[in-house]
Structure 1
């Protein structure tokens, strides 16, 4: 199979009649890479993350609403950063079949498919060697290994973007109507995770630039416009079917998200740690790719490689704009998918495999080992960012009473997911928002509401760890020891990669 932008210096292809037919041998390196990716992702162990608990629990509630009319007691669409009727439902189905491990296995399948799709599109653009190296740089990176064992909609959204990108490159040599298929996975990716639309422009650009060498400028632009029209049409259809209620979630989590307070130097440093090596290799690959071309080829190659490489900068730029670390590592994983093919080309040229240079091969091997080591250490650190709540759940299971109790828990999404068989959604309250009507009939919100509820012994259990909402915790914890008071019945270790921590479990002193 010829490539759209062949790797300079590669050996001439053998005629089809004498070409060896060993499909398994040819695919063996990719299969080994997929096995390694699966093992390195699956080795990550921790209890459910707050987002995992939230999405899977919401999926179960959405299924119950659909099948039995059971109210969800929550407006998920107003604050989810993806459509609650899409991934959460699919994830909940996997969770019902095999628990949290099943939902995480679903994410792993999505990420393995991303690696296969990346290899396929890179092979068509730059050749087999560049494809394998690009796939390895992507599959063994920290953000990708992390997403492969995280039951959130990120893996699904990236998979749908990958389908769109692969289709864009594949359609370059197919009749023009096929290009319309690109819009379907793009619209679905944006439905799964609204921030995925940040990368839609790259996929649409791929449609035109991949077709440019084969079809010429006019046909390439027409194909790009067709893909754009298809994506807009599919998105409009999704909006029509879903209704306008989740637009509030799009605004609050994506388009008009509230800015954070994280500094630009910190965001840039972490961005460089997670994706700097691939970005550097992609820049080298862009330079080498352009130098290998002549005349108009150089312009086409510069546009294509520049588009793919520049996409790796979208996530850091977006996070710097918002001044927030939230989801930085996950969004960088999206950008790595597009930059990795060019990085693979650069690494293949550095290795210069066709000339069997030991020195060049040693450099390439060293880069691969460095990338693997970074991926292993980074993914392990990312998966320890939240404390293991296994012991806490054991304590709570002895205290929870079905139907009647009220429980105030920092990051209540986690115990609500684990204790779903014992307690209803309305029994849980978190430390992000709370409204309460006291015994005098006064309606309160925020800190006054928490204090009034604690003073009046509204909560049957209180769990604080002074973590994400430490400021609020310190404002309300005095109510646990004043007046009638609460008794500290347990302390549970809440250690994470950020340091040591403790969950404090309180129960009211009632006569």
Structure 2
């Protein structure tokens, strides 16, 4: 049963097809240019984890990457590994950029559906220039695909909600299910959307039917019980087998999330300030969209998803993923912000010429887009320079490591990606151990005593420290290295978080 909702403003208009085609092409070109710098630094820890994990899957090896970055390997890792095999790290980042470009288009289509062509271009422009979205779209992890799938689910939900076919709800559920197995954080938004749709279903059941004379001229196609089931079935059908197959990895990751939340490492006020700096203006513009009475229901759905993700961030307290989380939030905030700008322009230009009203909306939108893009550049720069640049280190190891060598390396997954997944003949190590886990026939774990024993026994041919993720352990092991190892070379890290990259080499018996 359809519940109509009154709409006080003029029906949103669409531009000529050729104008929209040119506009969307311009959006894609703008987004592509802003995402064209793909060789900015060597692989970061999350990138190396995904790429090496995908390489292991392609070669039939067991991977433990899900314990740190849970996601179904065929979707979250394997496509990136294929792209990496064909084009290296730049190829993998290019795949992420491709998903980012599609996200720009889908978000623009969502805003166009809700508020008209002008809003579509505004929303697309906001996503195209948003710093965290550019970061996610040029980072070889599962986030770019996850954001695209969430944007697709949101678009299909808005189409179904604003008079589209009800069978689309099945595809909404499928997109949400795929997004969730790509990145768990999508489940937070999925549950919020499902709860919102359930409220609409209950409202439709409890409301009294209107007569034809009572109904306004425009209406929403309120979802029925079958529509809600259509969303839930694909999600359940995918999530139950996924959770049962990977339950050990997922439980380990869930435990780490709970421990992070309980550690209270970052105060709520600090998290609020970080989110405020990234989202305050789009959120402010989005609130104005509620002035458009005929679009308050879909705007409420978008706001519910955004609020759920923000609430999760305050619960989780892990600021390391905060910037990437805002990329998910932005795919629902951007259409609202675009609708708010169009609404504001219509209010101010209510008694003015259509061209003057269009110019007013254009200037407002341009100002917001420029501000969002300018303020996001600092975020982009910070998220592209927080890990050591290993270019010189990799070149050195590729020329000095011998087949079968054992290496202890801080952020060892980066070494495994460059030296094992992309081996150099005659210079492929047998193992590269991390500074947070080691095992041999005498024990396993991450304690300093365990590493100290292995170093004294000369089990490592090379030891590499960069003092970023395990600086305290590195410094504890330095005195132990003095007997059997010598500092072979030091490289600049090109980051303020590390004093440099130190390579220690085991002394030969003659030394």
Shift of residue 108 of structure 1?
A: 0.8
Matches within 5 A, 1:293-308: 293=293, 301-308=295-302
SS of 1:194's equivalent in the other structure is coil
TM-superposition CA deviations, 1:278-314 (whole Å, max 9, x none): 122212323x22xxx2xxx5xxx44432331343343
Matches within 5 A, 1:192-203: 192-203=182-193
Q: Does structure 1 residue 111 correspond to structure 2 residue 105?
A: no
Could you say if the C-alpha distance between residues 98 and 259 of structure 1 is closer, same or farther in structure 2, counting changes exceeding 3 Å?
farther
Structure 2: how far apart are the matches of 1:145 and 1:345? 22
Structure 1: how far apart are the matches of 2:139 and 2:274? 20
Paired residue for 1:266? 270
Structure 2: how far apart are the matches of 1:256 and 1:198? 19
Shifted more, 197-206 versus 266-275: the winner is 197-206
Paired residue for 2:502? 504
Structure 2: how far apart are the matches of 1:97 and 1:121? 33
SS of 1:384's equivalent in the other structure is coil
Matches within 5 A, 1:58-137: 58-65=53-60, 71-72=61-62, 74-137=63-126
Mapped contact 1:465–1:502 kept (Cα < 8 A): yes
Mapped contact 1:487–1:506 kept (Cα < 8 A): yes
Structure 1: how far apart are the matches of 2:13 and 2:35? 38
Structure 1: how far apart are the matches of 2:89 and 2:221? 49
Mapped contact 1:311–1:338 kept (Cα < 8 A): yes
Matches within 5 A, 1:214-225: 214=219, 219-225=223-229
Shift of residue 79 of structure 1?
A: 3.7
Could you say if the C-alpha distance between residues 152 and 252 of structure 1 is closer, same or farther in structure 2, counting changes exceeding 3 Å?
farther
TM-score, scaled relative to structure 2:
0.85
Could you say if the C-alpha distance between residues 475 and 8 of structure 1 is closer, same or farther in structure 2, counting changes exceeding 3 Å?
farther
Mapped contact 1:435–1:443 kept (Cα < 8 A): yes
SS of 1:463's equivalent in the other structure is strand
Paired residue for 1:431? 435
Paired residue for 1:68? none
Structure 2: how far apart are the matches of 1:373 and 1:36? 14
Structure 2: how far apart are the matches of 1:310 and 1:246? 30
Shift of residue 5 of structure 1?
A: 9.1
Structure 2: how far apart are the matches of 1:314 and 1:104? 29
Shift of residue 401 of structure 1?
A: 1.4
Mapped contact 2:122–2:365 kept (Cα < 8 A): no
Q: Does structure 1 residue 374 correspond to structure 2 residue 369?
A: no
Shift of residue 361 of structure 1?
A: 4.9
1:309 pairs with 303, 306, 319, which one?
Answer: 303
Paired residue for 1:411? 411
Shift of residue 141 of structure 1?
A: 0.7
Paired residue for 1:16? none
Structure 2: how far apart are the matches of 1:425 and 1:203? 48
SS of 2:388's equivalent in the other structure is coil
SS of 2:228's equivalent in the other structure is helix
Could you say if the C-alpha distance between residues 443 and 123 of structure 1 is closer, same or farther in structure 2, counting changes exceeding 3 Å?
closer
Paired residue for 2:318? 324
Matches within 5 A, 1:451-470: 451-470=452-471
TM-superposition CA deviations, 1:198-244 (whole Å, max 9, x none): 11134436767999874665x4454234312332223234446x454
Structure 2: how far apart are the matches of 1:318 and 1:166? 22
Paired residue for 1:276? 280
Could you say if the C-alpha distance between residues 313 and 472 of structure 1 is closer, same or farther in structure 2, counting changes exceeding 3 Å?
farther
Could you say if the C-alpha distance between residues 7 and 97 of structure 1 is closer, same or farther in structure 2, counting changes exceeding 3 Å?
farther
Paired residue for 2:334? 340
Matches within 5 A, 1:9-24: 9=10, 23-24=17-18
SS of 1:504's equivalent in the other structure is strand
Could you say if the C-alpha distance between residues 425 and 154 of structure 1 is closer, same or farther in structure 2, counting changes exceeding 3 Å?
farther
TM-superposition CA deviations, 1:448-468 (whole Å, max 9, x none): 111111122211111111112
TM-superposition CA deviations, 1:465-497 (whole Å, max 9, x none): 11121122122222112xx3321111101122x
Paired residue for 2:181? 191
Structure 2: how far apart are the matches of 1:189 and 1:128? 27
Q: Provide the aligned length of Structure 1 versus Structure 2.
A: 477
Mapped contact 2:81–2:92 kept (Cα < 8 A): yes
Shift of residue 32 of structure 1?
A: 1.0
Q: Does structure 1 residue 42 correspond to structure 2 residue 36?
A: yes
Mapped contact 2:132–2:380 kept (Cα < 8 A): yes
Could you say if the C-alpha distance between residues 361 and 132 of structure 1 is closer, same or farther in structure 2, counting changes exceeding 3 Å?
closer
1:161 pairs with 150, 173, 182, which one?
Answer: 150
Could you say if the C-alpha distance between residues 252 and 84 of structure 1 is closer, same or farther in structure 2, counting changes exceeding 3 Å?
farther
Mapped contact 2:439–2:445 kept (Cα < 8 A): yes
TM-superposition CA deviations, 1:406-451 (whole Å, max 9, x none): 11111111121111214768511111222345xxx56675111111
Shifted more, 124-133 versus 201-210: the winner is 201-210
Shifted more, 110-119 versus 428-437: the winner is 428-437
Shift of residue 375 of structure 1?
A: 2.6
Q: Does structure 1 residue 495 correspond to structure 2 residue 494?
A: yes
CA RMSD in angstroms comes to 3.0
SS of 1:388's equivalent in the other structure is coil
Structure 2: how far apart are the matches of 1:9 and 1:255? 49
Mapped contact 1:436–1:444 kept (Cα < 8 A): no
Structure 2: how far apart are the matches of 1:330 and 1:259? 21
Structure 2: how far apart are the matches of 1:12 and 1:338? 21
Paired residue for 1:140? 129
SS of 1:398's equivalent in the other structure is helix
SS of 1:86's equivalent in the other structure is helix
Mapped contact 1:58–1:76 kept (Cα < 8 A): yes
Mapped contact 2:467–2:498 kept (Cα < 8 A): no
